Structure 1
Amino acid sequence: MREVVSETGSTNADLLARLAGDFPPPEGFWLMAERQTAGRGRLAREWESIQGNLHCSTPVHLKPSDAVASTLAFVAGLAVFDTVERSLLPRTSVMLKWPNDVLVREAKIAGVLLERQGNHVCVGIGINVSYSPEILGRKTTHIGYENGKFANGPESVLDLLEDRFAARLAAWRQQPLSHTLLEWAVRSHRYDDQLRVTDPTGERLSGNYRGIDHTGALRIAPQGSAERVLHAGDVMLGWRESEED
């Protein structure tokens, strides 16, 4: 089930309002906007929502048997990874960046934003299909640039995404959480990759990637100190000692 609007502020905001009502949309419903005027990403960042890219949201209704809701970020990340990979040329380098981005050769091509309303989670997804939004200090790319033969639009990409999200959500529910986390981990950072993480308080930490724990938290080993476990933060790939404060 899909609803497409030509323009709105934010598909996440619209879907959250519906989830707060008496008749929340069922799982499998997707709200897509051709353009957003108030798109947003993690940590309250604005997200440029250009017509020709995919901006959409879908609900997940939490069940008592479900894993912790925050791990839906890994479900969504895997579904987006699958979608992007299938839209690009074979052997294109695609990776997941903790906790919620998809990169192509270190340039962001997609992102995920989870927001909760009671026992409902709104999963917002943005995929750069035809244009690369400008993000200060970060590289971006889009499917059309990476695959010059790609002639499909956002709705065709959503066709793929709907199928892959349903499959990844079913696996999250039917198999141990470790299965989803492993599937995510093998598509993400390499052990010992250099990362810089800014946590929600603004503290900045640089170190080497040590994987994720059983909850999906990031494990990082700063130089000269004990390994840290971070449950939230903003990751930049690579760092140099000369950049340290």
Structure 2
Amino acid sequence: MSWPEGYGRLVLAQVDSTNAEAARRAPGLAGPEWILARAQSAARGRRGRAWAMPEGNFAATLVMRLDEPPEHRALRSFVAALALFDAVGALVGDDAGLALKWPNDVLLNGGKLAGILLESLGPHLAIGVGVNLIAAPGAGQVEPGALRPVSLLGETGVRVGPEAMLEALAGAYAAREAAFVTYGFGAIRTAWLARAMGIGAVATARTARDETTGTFETVDEAGHLVLKTAKGRVAIAAADVFF
């Protein structure tokens, strides 16, 4: 897949985190740019958690200027997840073991292969992507109850380098972004739900303040998780989800 027109590319040997680097570079960018780092010293996941990055794994951020309301920007999490699904399937030659987990994970054979972190940077949005290409963190490096981490190499035997992953992801993202801009969230939502883990299963959505348990029904038009509970349907904007 060729590099998408209009997207910049920057490859660095090491940074603290690609999202932090995106924040530093965003004001000077003329257009959307992918920033890839071969090593990170202070990688982060959701809610400020540390993100382990063994050598050979993938860490990159797409930074782009978006003059949109925050709730519309947040839907890029689904765009990015679909693009990751597309890219990994293309690199491996098979997407049968892949699935998407709300709000921002890509799964392989039931384990967590990749995560996505969105951060607003004033008028810019940073979409950070981490993929366990070569090695997965140990079970002790994830919170209790979380899905087991897996690597692409460990699950498929396919070895993919970070730059090959970036090439595939950038092309896949550009295609999904174009569909989002042209047709809106409806088409993205339908495609995401077709690849979603756990529809019809019991799930617990946990925030810092409370938790809600119910049957995972759908994702609504705002990107919220919809659970059917004993008290009725509940739409959840942000949470960690456990099946």
Q: Which residue of 2 aligns with 1:80?
A: 84
2:229 aligned with 1:230: no
1:209 touches 1:219 (CA, 8 Å); kept in 2? Answer: yes
- Distance between the aligned counterparts of 2:69 and 2:48, measured in 1? 30
Q: Which amino acid aligns with 1:76?
A: A
Cα separation, partners in 2 of 1:161 and 1:172, compared to 1, 3 Å? same
Cα gap change, 1:109 to 1:68, in 2 (>3 Å): same
For residues 95 and 170 of structure 2, what CA distance do their matches in structure 1 show? 23
Cα displacement string for residues 211-233 of structure 1 (whole angstroms, at most 9, x for unaligned residues)? 011111000012x2211110000
Could you tell me the TM-score, scaled by structure 2's length?
Answer: 0.89
Equivalent residue for 2:5?
Answer: none
CA distance in 1: counterparts of 2:201 and 2:105, whole angstroms: 16
The equivalent of 1:133 in structure 2 is: 137
Paired residues, what number? 231
- Aligned mate of 1:105, from 109, 118, 121: 109
The correspondence of residues 195-234 of structure 1 with structure 2, limited to 5 A, is 195-199=203-207, 201-222=208-229, 224-234=230-240
Query: 3-state DSSP class of the match of 1:68?
Result: helix
Identity of aligned residues (%): 29
1:134-149 paired onto structure 2 within 5 Å: 134=138, 135-137=142-144, 138=146, 139-148=148-157
CA contact (8 A) 1:67 1:173 kept: no
Equivalent residue, structure 2, for 1:242:
none
Aligned to 1:17: 24
Distance 1:153 1:2 in 2: 16
Aligned partner of 1:6 in structure 2 is 13
What residue identity is the alignment partner of 2:76? Answer: L
Equivalent of residue 58 in structure 2, options 42, 48, 54: 54
**Which residue of the partner structure matches residue 201 of structure 2?**
193
